[in-house]
Amino acid sequence: MDYKELVIYMVKSLVDHPEEVSINEIEGEKSTILELRVLKEDIGKVIGKHGRIARAIRTIINASATKTGKRVVLEILD
């Protein structure tokens, strides 16, 4: 499963400037780190109130990663 494409699809549907969404993928043995960058004005839409949207995105990623036995970490950078 390509977690990077999954996150890009979800985040682009949330933000006002989808062309500015970028993800850097850092692959490890047991984990993968996804560093998400969006415009400063869109970061609130990705995080949501009290972090609910960010938590939901992380839950979906981790649920899909459970099958492979890997851990996927999503970091939202500004």
Q: What CATH number does residue 59 fall under?
A: 3.30.300.20
Residue-wise burial string across 28-61, b where 16 or more C-beta atoms lie within 10 A, e elsewhere: eeeebebebebeeebbeebbeeeeebbeebbeeb
pTM, two decimals, is 0.89
Interatomic CA distance for residues 30 and 14, integer angstroms? 29
Q: Confirm if 73 and 62 have CB atoms less than 8 A apart.
A: no
> pLDDT 10s per residue in the chain (78 long)?
688 999 999 999 999 999 999 999 999 888 999 999 999 999 999 999 999 999 999 999 999 888 888 899 999 997
Residues of the domain holding 71: 3-77
Domain count, the chain: 1
